[in-house]
Structure 1
Amino acid sequence: MRARAAVLSLSYGFLLGSLWSAQTLQKASAVCTCKNLTICEQFCNATEEIHDFICFGWRIQQDMVDYKCVWNLKPYRTYNLYTKQRLCKQRELENQSLISKSFTLLKINMTAYAIAASEDQKRCTIAKFTGIPLQMIHCDPPNENNVRFKRRQGYLSVTAEWRDKSVKQYYVKYREQNSTLWKEVQCNNSKDCIVGNLTSYMSYEMHIQCVVTTECPQCPLSEVIHIPQEFVDAPTIKEINETPFNPGQRIVIVKWQYKHSEAVENYNVTIWKASGELAEVSSYILKTQTMSLILCYSAYMISINAFNRAGSSPPAYEVIKAKMNQSALDETFNVSVKSNSNFRLSWNKMLSQEYACYSVEWWRSGEKISYESFFVKKAYHDVRTKNVTFQPYKRYHFFLHARPDKDTCNLKNINDSEKTYGTASVYLLEGTPLTAPGNVSVSNVTQSSFVLNWSPVAEEDLRGFPQGYIIYYGDALGNIKNITVGPHTNSYKLINLRSRNEHHVQLSAFTAAGEGKRSALTYVKTNPDAVAIGGMLAGVVVGIIALLLSVHFCCRLLHRSKNLLWPSIPNPCNSNAVQKIEGGPELELFEPLYRQNLEETEEHDCTKANLTPGTVAEDTRTQQSPKLLTTTNSVSAEAILTDSNKNDSAPVPPIDTSDSSEDSTVNTTVDASNTRAVDCVSTTVAKPAVVFVSDYTTMELFQQISKAGVQDPSSQIGDSDTAPSNSGQDYIRQALSFEENL
């Protein structure tokens, strides 16, 4: 009984201790140790964040692995980490966070416990991780600084530096920026990888991940690496401006632009001397698109390219030309060529007191610039060339630059490190010019002068320093003169020449060695005098006036000759043959022969006759045509013919014709607008049977009158008061008068 009671009391005491321990753990999680991890695991809350608790290892050496545990948990007051293999051990943490310091493990299974307690020690949470140490090894990807890449012609070259040497291969996963489709390329080694078929102007995103092996069982992805677009175009150098600075120096401002400037990180500007002399500082990294430099008078080369992490653009090149202006330089600088490989420089002694380091450059047109830097305290220096020999008849140019640095005479910085002291040009041996001045032309020709223009001889054909030009000019009479002008003259006015005379001109250049080749003959004719031109104009005016007068007199002479040689056309009204027909039948002759102008009223010089009333048919209008007209009325045509001239009697005054209605039986109505006063003859027409409409003749009229009289003799009405005919009127005037009446 006593034994049973003892067992019961112990069990009860253990239970009370456990309850007390649990309550204590709930109140204070800090008491969790390796001994009560099982109880802590039961009573601490397990949140969703336990999945962020991970332990892994990495190789320090080939056979040495360090491990670490990391828990991405919201901030708690205290953290504890325990690992349990054969033994349970508490691990140290870094800065009171749930990131442990490195530790070692055995190759057997491992269990890790992470416990976090609140600030009031009343809440706790626990996370658990179990794994095999050899399978927990991570082959971490290199960070972004250890990944280099370059883009060129649609290809991406990637170079990765892995910390774990157990990595044999890796993947490159990439996609276009703002795209969701990832592509993958497996690299054949652990360092270099090539990705192709990329679009040059597109930006990309990239991940790196090792290939899983037994040595690398865990291969996490790297962070996203941004790959900017590829530059395929070179920048454009817009302008290079120069402004004077100090004597022997100039400020050069270079401006450029790039169409993909938003993707540019920096611009690389490199400047070097055209002679090839290198400077310790010659490249400059800029973010702007302009640059200012202080340079001497030498020729320079400049290159500009844009770059980013993906690579650089093709460079843009430009030449900064040498400045040959000597106006601001010391004229005491002199060069004398001693031989084809030796020359001497000399300058002002005052310069040697300020400078001791110099550089000389020399070149011939079309050749590379040579240079030599030297240290000297004298006012002269001899230079022996190495790879360049001086040739006769060739001009060589020299620059002498002074440098302020005295420790070494090498070029320290391309910007503001030297100035040009003097320039010079020399010949080893001078000769005569090989060619004549070109583009010879003449302008501004007057009566006694003209201007001669030309272009200078090219430097390679001069073979010496030009001393001037000789102008030869002459006329057709063989008078030849010459004039010498200076070497900088390209035009000259020749004066005091004879007017209206042809002149010829030749031109040649000369050097210290003599005169060169003459140009081809150029011919020019001076203008005539103003007096001669005035006389010519006066002669032209007089000739025109004489021509007009002669034309006027000729026209009058032709008019008089016409009146004498060609008589007037006769008037049929004045024909005796017509006037002698007395008592003839009333003719209805002229109405069918009417033409359109018969409707108009005209007055004539002949005697007017009365229109005798009679039977008149309605006025039938027909077209004016030279064809035969016929009528369908069977009534014979009657006409009343009044003789205007009979037996030399005086003409009867004309009788007025007007509209009247005296006889109601008369069907004839005379319209005032169509009534006509006819010279000598006035007829009332009553539809003749046959009428000829054609050019009139006296014979036709006579035949028609006779025919009408035969058809109806009873209708003939004579006029006792007819005027006698005038025999003095000829046949031609009669025909002309009748035509005018029609």
Structure 2
Amino acid sequence: MSDGPHNLECYYMGEIENGLNCTWTPGNHHTNTTIYTLKILWQNRKFPTSEELVNTTRTFYTIERRCLYISDNVTIWVEMRDRRSTVCQKTKSVTLIPEESERPKTPSDITHQRKDGQLKLMGDFSEELRYELNYTKAGTANWHVVNLTSSKTLQELDQLAAYEFRIRCKRISKVSFWSLWSTKYEVPPELIDKPLIRKTVSELLHEPGKRIVTVQWENPVNGTNEIVTGYKIRLARILANRSSNSKLFVTNNSECTFILSQARFKFEVQAYNSAGSSPASEIEIPPFNQMHLNNKINATPRGNDSILISWNSNTKERTNDYIVDWGPVIGNEICIKRSEKIKKGLQTYTLKGNFEPKQRYRIMLHRKSRKWKRVNNTETTIGMTDVYILEGTPRSAPSNITVTNISKTSAIIKWDHIPEDECQGFLQGYKIFCHLNKASIADTFIPISVNSSTAYYVLTGLRQNTVYAVQISGFTKAGEGSRSEAVSFATKEFDDGELQRIAVIVSIAIIGFVFLVTWSCLFLVRRTKKMFWPSIPNPGNSNAIQIIGRDSSLPHLDNELLNLKSNSPLMGTEEELESLHTIEEVTSALADYELEGNEQNNVTDQEPRNDLNDKPTVIQVTDYTTMENFRQIMPTITSNDTVVQANKSETECHDQQSDSFILSYMKQHVHQTSIQNAGDNPLGTLQNLDLIKVPQNPLSQQLLETNC
């Protein structure tokens, strides 16, 4: 790069009458005091002269038309001289003819569109100019130069890459300069994917015949959200066999809401940016069958080729025109075949066409309140009805018949409705035929009729444990259709839970019977035992023992007996001693002794006899006599000690008898203990009983001394 001025250019734009514009680039030593001198040399003149035109600090100059010879060659250059320096620098000279030095205007207002790897430029292009394009990928400095053809299209670009480009032009028919480069245009990546429509919501308004439709969508790739400027939406009213009306909307949101009638519409959405638009994604908004609009219009068949419709047009709302859509019903949806416009003010209209018998047709009438070009919130459905030219009987019967909740006398029958295509007329209801499985048709019960909206029935009054068969058919105004295949079922002998209740009752009865038998057996056993094996009372719990223990002086004797029992090697345990029974000889001796004592008491005194009469004088001696007998006798003996004092001989005899009684009692205890503890020689033990010597009882000795 030169240190002085350079890049000198001289041209005119538009008309030469505006003068010749010369521009250059200043040098490195340019200051505010730099003076530029523009020199012109006309070479075709006989006397070439050099003219100096001075421009102080500016880097451009316009040569006026009066100073130009537009048909002659001219050489132009620029010199730079600084006042503080004697150095002179100049640009390269340019030679030109002024009238051929045109520079076209720089192209502007260029728009572009990307599609399928192509970049198409659009703007005010002239056929007299040749255009040159410079482009590069965004972020790089590798510029490519392309001469644009008449199509002004750039081919084979990367669809997912962003680009930058600029453009210039020049004259084709004559010599001219290239125009200046345009500003850089940025081209975003191409939108190659359709927006995804993910949800369509339709809600009814409070006003009949209108609905709110909300459509939502999203971009398929998250990375494309940054390069999407907005969305173009097109809503069209579909008219069969007629041109459809559409309206274009632009939005930045990913959803849109419309107020529409119950007719059929088409919705399209495209994402767009400065490079262009993506492919369109479209859906069809089907007609909405709002059944409560039935009977708002009337339809009357007029042969096989026409249907007369009528409606009430008295409304306060503004009405421009009416639209009627009609077509056959397939399944439960209308297939619109024709759409016709009806002028306002009419209340009847005749539909023309080839109508098939036994085919259902649906007619929808709409009111248009505004111009046809407007679609959103301009139409209301005012009526809907179905009609048959000629009705027939159903072609098929209800399907999927099942019998559930079977009990002894009832069952529930369920079935699927007859499809609309098979009814061939307005279905009025179903007939249910129930009969015994082996019965003939003549034995069939009276058929049961239900309305067409019912899909189940409860059979009652059936016999238990019986097999039945049911058939169902539909009927229209023309008559009954075909019956379904017979479905058999058997009623139960017992209802659910009845067997369990019976089992519980029987179990309770068996348990009660077993309890009664067991209780009766136990009662009989106790009575038998009490009768044949009476229980022996415990002597220690008797009243006599309680009295003896409290009033008698025999505790000393009891202690002696206990000492003797504990010292004897032949004696057993305390429990064994308490369970001893007296032998027959001892009890007999005790009885004799008591009788003799009573006789002596009767002889001595009358007063003691009265006391003795209050007590039992005779004790029954049995094999079960125990210690209680002995203790009952002892108070009698002690009470006679005041009576028997006179006769000493009798006292000695009494003493001997008392000692003999005590000895007999002790032998009884020893004998019983020996029997329980005897080993291999029980006889030897019994022989030793006579060898036992009982120590002198202090109580008996005291009695003897007193009596003597």
Alignment of 1:312-331 (within 5 A): 312-327=277-292, 329=293, 331=295
Matched, 1:437 2:437: no
Tell me how far apart the structure 2 counterparts of residues 458 and 355 of structure 1 sit (CA, whole Å): 38
User: Which residue of the partner structure matches residue 480 of structure 2?
Assistant: 515
Percent of counterpart pairs with the same letter? 23
TM-superposed CA distance for 1:489, in Å, is 1.0
User: Which residue of the partner structure matches residue 382 of structure 1?
Assistant: 349
Distance 1:424 1:129, change over 3 A: farther
Distance 1:81 1:338, change over 3 A: farther
Distance 1:356 1:146, change over 3 A: closer
Tell me how far apart the structure 2 counterparts of residues 413 and 356 of structure 1 sit (CA, whole Å): 12
Distance 1:253 1:90, change over 3 A: farther
Matched, 1:533 2:507: no
Distance 1:54 1:508, change over 3 A: same
TM-superposed CA distance for 1:179, in Å, is 2.3
Distance 1:535 1:67, change over 3 A: same
Q: Is the 8 A contact 2:469 2:489 kept in 1?
A: yes
Match of 2:431 among 449, 457, 470: 470
Further displaced range: 413-422 or 208-217: 208-217
Q: Is the 8 A contact 1:326 1:422 kept in 2?
A: no
Helix, strand or coil for the counterpart of 2:315? helix
User: Which residue of the partner structure matches residue 239 of structure 2?
Assistant: 275
TM-superposed CA distance for 1:148, in Å, is 3.2
Matched, 1:242 2:205: no
User: Which residue of the partner structure matches residue 300 of structure 2?
Assistant: 336
Tell me how far apart the structure 2 counterparts of residues 324 and 90 of structure 1 sit (CA, whole Å): 91
User: Which residue of the partner structure matches residue 163 of structure 2?
Assistant: 204
Q: Is the 8 A contact 1:166 1:216 kept in 2?
A: no
Matched, 1:449 2:417: no
Matched, 1:413 2:374: yes
- Structure 1, unaligned stretches of length 5 or more? 1-46, 118-124, 546-742
Helix, strand or coil for the counterpart of 1:497? coil
TM-superposed CA distance for 1:241, in Å, is 1.6
Distance 1:354 1:181, change over 3 A: closer
Q: Is the 8 A contact 1:112 1:129 kept in 2?
A: yes
Helix, strand or coil for the counterpart of 1:252? strand
Further displaced range: 300-309 or 176-185: 176-185
Q: Is the 8 A contact 2:238 2:245 kept in 1?
A: no
Q: Is the 8 A contact 2:136 2:165 kept in 1?
A: yes
TM-superposed CA distance for 1:217, in Å, is 5.0
Alignment of 1:12-91 (within 5 A): 50-51=5-6, 54-58=9-13, 67-70=20-23, 84=40
Tell me how far apart the structure 2 counterparts of residues 132 and 463 of structure 1 sit (CA, whole Å): 93
TM-superposed CA distance for 1:211, in Å, is 8.8
Distance 1:297 1:526, change over 3 A: same
Q: Is the 8 A contact 1:336 1:344 kept in 2?
A: yes
TM-superposed CA distance for 1:267, in Å, is 1.0
Distance 1:88 1:463, change over 3 A: farther
Matched, 1:165 2:128: yes
Tell me how far apart the structure 2 counterparts of residues 81 and 507 of structure 1 sit (CA, whole Å): 113
TM-superposed CA distance for 1:435, in Å, is 1.1
Q: Is the 8 A contact 2:129 2:171 kept in 1?
A: no
Further displaced range: 486-495 or 211-220: 211-220
Alignment of 1:283-302 (within 5 A): 283-302=248-267
TM-score (norm. length: structure 1): 0.55
User: Which residue of the partner structure matches residue 606 of structure 1?
Assistant: none
Q: Is the 8 A contact 1:172 1:186 kept in 2?
A: yes
Distance 1:139 1:491, change over 3 A: same
The C-alpha deviation readout for 1:495-521, integer Å capped at 9, x for no partner, is 221222111111111111111111111
TM-superposed CA distance for 1:208, in Å, is 3.4
Alignment of 1:94-133 (within 5 A): 105-111=70-76, 130-133=94-97
Match of 1:142 among 107, 118, 130: 107
CA radius of gyration, larger in: 2
TM-superposed CA distance for 1:88, in Å, is 9.2
Q: Is the 8 A contact 2:261 2:380 kept in 1?
A: yes
1:472 maps to amino acid: F
User: Which residue of the partner structure matches residue 607 of structure 1?
Assistant: none
2:10 maps to amino acid: C
The C-alpha deviation readout for 1:153-172, integer Å capped at 9, x for no partner, is x34344575446142xx554
Q: Is the 8 A contact 1:403 1:417 kept in 2?
A: yes
Helix, strand or coil for the counterpart of 2:415? strand
Q: Is the 8 A contact 1:279 1:413 kept in 2?
A: no
Q: Is the 8 A contact 1:505 1:521 kept in 2?
A: yes
Distance 1:457 1:148, change over 3 A: same
Distance 1:191 1:314, change over 3 A: closer
Match of 2:225 among 249, 252, 261: 261
TM-superposed CA distance for 1:80, in Å, is 11
Alignment of 1:160-239 (within 5 A): 162-163=125-126, 165-167=128-130, 170-187=131-148, 189-196=149-156, 198-209=157-168, 215-216=175-176, 218=178, 220-239=180-199
Q: Is the 8 A contact 1:279 1:414 kept in 2?
A: no
User: Which residue of the partner structure matches residue 365 of structure 2?
Assistant: 400
Distance 1:204 1:424, change over 3 A: same
Tell me how far apart the structure 1 counterparts of residues 411 and 355 of structure 2 sit (CA, whole Å): 44
User: Which residue of the partner structure matches residue 307 of structure 1?
Assistant: 272
TM-superposed CA distance for 1:437, in Å, is 1.4
Tell me how far apart the structure 2 counterparts of residues 348 and 114 of structure 1 sit (CA, whole Å): 94
2:21 maps to amino acid: K
Distance 1:216 1:430, change over 3 A: farther
Tell me how far apart the structure 1 counterparts of residues 19 and 61 of structure 2 sit (CA, whole Å): 14
Match of 1:370 among 333, 338, 341: 338
User: Which residue of the partner structure matches residue 669 of structure 1?
Assistant: none
User: Which residue of the partner structure matches residue 480 of structure 1?
Assistant: 444
Distance 1:240 1:216, change over 3 A: same
Tell me how far apart the structure 1 counterparts of residues 198 and 281 of structure 2 sit (CA, whole Å): 11
Helix, strand or coil for the counterpart of 1:504? strand
TM-superposed CA distance for 1:133, in Å, is 3.3
Tell me how far apart the structure 2 counterparts of residues 446 and 267 of structure 1 sit (CA, whole Å): 64
Q: Is the 8 A contact 1:340 1:391 kept in 2?
A: yes
Tell me how far apart the structure 2 counterparts of residues 339 and 486 of structure 1 sit (CA, whole Å): 30
2:119 maps to amino acid: L
TM-superposed CA distance for 1:535, in Å, is 9.6
1:312 maps to amino acid: S
TM-superposed CA distance for 1:342, in Å, is 2.5
Q: Is the 8 A contact 1:342 1:382 kept in 2?
A: no
Matched, 1:489 2:454: yes
1:270 maps to amino acid: R
TM-superposed CA distance for 1:317, in Å, is 1.7
**Could you say which structure has the greater relative contact order, defined with CA pairs below 8 angstroms and 6 or more residues apart?**
1
- Structure 2, unaligned stretches of length 5 or more? 43-48, 83-88, 512-708
Q: CA RMSD in A?
A: 4.4
Q: Is the 8 A contact 1:212 1:219 kept in 2?
A: no
Q: Is the 8 A contact 1:57 1:68 kept in 2?
A: yes
2:369 maps to amino acid: P
Q: Is the 8 A contact 1:59 1:164 kept in 2?
A: no
Tell me how far apart the structure 2 counterparts of residues 350 and 239 of structure 1 sit (CA, whole Å): 38
Helix, strand or coil for the counterpart of 1:262? helix
